[in-house]
Amino acid sequence: MTLAKHNAETEAKTEAELCDRAASHAADVAGEHFPELPVESINWETSTRMQRSAGKAVYNRASGQITIRLSWDAYEEYGWEKFYRTVRHELIHAWQYHEYDEADHGPTFTRWADPLNTDRHCERFAEPKYWLVCENCEKRDPRYQRSKIVKNPSDYRCQCGGDIRVEDA
């Protein structure tokens, strides 16, 4: 398996460098595990707005185009040593889109998570501004912006049916 080489000199300093590094790493991994995936046709971009996920694979069914969006904030928090796992995670989704026209964290994802040394979900890298708390089951769900549910929690219910309250983080 191709391992992520890391040292301070090789850290991406710009968003463009991160996209280039991620694309190169993805090409190495895909060559070994997903040779049928046309990884060179994947668009790579970064976002400074993403706060809940470190990466996202986006699929345009009409054109077949796959775009992998990476969180610059997550990269800055993790560094490449940890962030390369996000690239591999999103690469699995890209492969799922290519093969099945859909992607999820079900059996086809799980089958590849260990061999590609990646996780089903990323660790939190940004602090939430709010917590949604169920009055019934006490489930806590982070929120990073003042969304509709944060503004009007009485319009929503927890999956268990309980009322939701909002707490400042």
Instruction: Give domain status of residue 3, yes or no.
Output: no
94 & 144 share domain: no
pLDDT of residue 79: 92
Structural domain including 148 reads 130-168
> How would you write 36-72 as a 3-class SS string?
CCCHHHCEEEEECCCCCCCEEEEEECCCCEEEEEEEH
Q: What is the pLDDT along the chain (169 residues), one digit of tens a residue?
A: 444 444 445 789 999 999 999 999 999 999 999 999 999 999 999 999 888 789 999 999 999 999 999 999 999 989 998 899 999 999 999 999 999 999 999 999 999 999 999 988 867 777 788 999 999 999 999 888 889 999 999 999 999 999 999 999 8
* 97 and 151 share one domain: no
Beta carbons of 168 and 140 less than 8 angstroms apart: no
**How many C-beta atoms surround the C-beta of residue 163 within 10 A?**
13
Residue 81 sits in the same domain as residue 162 = no
Q: State the pLDDT at residue 98.
A: 97
Position 123 scores a pLDDT of: 72
Report the pLDDT value the prediction gives residue 159, as an integer from 0 to 100: 92
Please, what is the angle between helix 15-33 and helix 80-100, to 10°? 60
Looking at the fold, whether 35 and 100 belong to one and the same domain comes out as: yes
Whether residue 64 lies inside any domain: the answer is: yes
Query: How many separate domains does the chain show?
Result: 2
According to the model, what pLDDT value does residue 6 have? 44
Token pair for residue 123?
Answer: 């660790």
The reply to whether 108 and 153 lie within a common domain is no
**Same-domain check for residues 96 and 13:** yes
With helix as H, strand as E and coil as C, how does 112-162 read? HHCCCCCCCCCCCCCCCCEEEEECCCCCEEEECCCCHHHHCHHHCECCCCC
Q: pTM (2 decimals)?
A: 0.75
Q: Which CATH number characterizes residue 67's domain?
A: 3.30.2010
User: What pLDDT is recorded for position 47?
Assistant: 95
Q: Is residue 1 part of a domain?
A: no
Q: Are residues 95 and 154 in the same domain?
A: no
